[in-house]
Amino acid sequence: MAEAKRIDGKAFAGGLRERIGKAVAVLKETHGFTPGLAVVLVGEDPASQVYVRSKGKQTVEAGMNSYEHKFDKDASEAEVLAMIEKLNNDDNVHGILVQLPLPKHIDETKVINSVSPDKDVDGFHVVNAGRLATGQAALTSCTPVGCVMLAKDVLGNLSGLEAVVVGRSNIVGKPVAQLLLAENCTVTIAHSRTKDLDEVCRRADILIAAVGRPQMVKGSWVKPGACVIDVGINRIDGENGKTRLVGDVDFDEAVNVAGSITPVPGGVGPMTIACLLRNTVQAACMINNVDVPEM
Ligand code: NAP
């Protein structure tokens, strides 16, 4: 069988950022507002610092305003909540993102739910999760939106397809399953207690792996011709004492069975920030009572 089409998330995300930039220019010109994204970072986690830097850079490149609020790792929960309250009331801020994980002494759920649902561009607030689950307009978690955009780009209409999502986290597994259901897929959500996981996966026309276990999904678990979307980002030992990134799917095996597949890196990963920018434009339009432009 021929090798699967490699889904180029980096190129797709680049195109999406360009369309977002154009939409932002129109909003400025026609409606006189500039979408603004505020990121709150607590502590010095190196990976979080890298993410926050790229978010800021890409926000500015898309013509939007970027605000960063950094706190020491010992900052109190009350200080962080006070900052979020201030941002909730700031008319220049349309999106608020609290970089996770937070230090252990801060209640993550409480902080997430203190963000105004209208500015919750991460889509983690319980109100947005509820809106998504009940088919109402919602700000939806960025990585799941990115997964479904890539699947639709390759497959077109997803209606009637069998989708299997491995993983049931609130930030990836559950929202991606809801989005696929909204696309009229028949959705199975698998997790650590699922029996005969390989057989369940083999039913999938669209297989989404969001597990956090390096190369767990083997080629023999993939239905020939399926679209495989690998959300996993795992660092493993590579050659010459260096580490390398791999997904939750054994790419080298699955690429010989699937019809299309996202690589890691360069697949789902780049979509997350692009979808965050898209959500910020969406939030800004909703706050300003303006139709959300095509992006
Ligand atoms: P998570 O919160 O740890 O959830 C993992 C899920 O996988 C859980 O539902 C768990 O089941 C399930 N699971 C664990 N071991 C399993 C097994 N052996 N068989 C079947 N299911 C199993 O992880 P997450 O936050 O959803 O993230 C998943 C992966 O995506 C990670 O590699 C993460 O780094 C990556 N990620 C990437 C992006 C991005 O590309 N930008 C964004 C977010 C996450 P139970 O519920 O039964 O425990």
Q: Which of 7, 12, 169 to mutate to test the pocket of ligand 1 (most atoms within 8 A of CB)?
A: 169
Per-residue pLDDT tens digits for 190-235 = 999 999 999 999 999 999 999 999 999 999 999 999 999 999 999 9
Put simply, whether the predicted model's pTM sits higher than 0.75 gets the answer: yes
Q: Which of 45, 148, 233 to mutate to test the pocket of ligand 1 (most atoms within 8 A of CB)?
A: 233
Q: Confirm or reject: Cβ of 213 under 6 Å from ligand 1.
A: yes
Judge whether 86 counts as a catalytic residue.
no
What percent of the chain is predicted at pLDDT more than 70? 100
- Give me the catalytic one of 55, 119, 174, 223: 55
Per-residue pLDDT tens digits for 116-134 = 999 999 999 999 999 999 9
**Does residue 67 surpass a pLDDT of 80?**
yes
User: Which residue's alpha carbon is nearest to atom 35 within ligand 1?
Assistant: 232
d(CA 34, CA 141): 22
Q: Confirm or reject: Cβ of 168 under 6 Å from ligand 1.
A: yes
Judge whether 205 counts as a catalytic residue.
no
**What pLDDT does residue 2 have?**
86
Judge whether 122 counts as a catalytic residue.
yes
**What pLDDT does residue 213 have?**
98
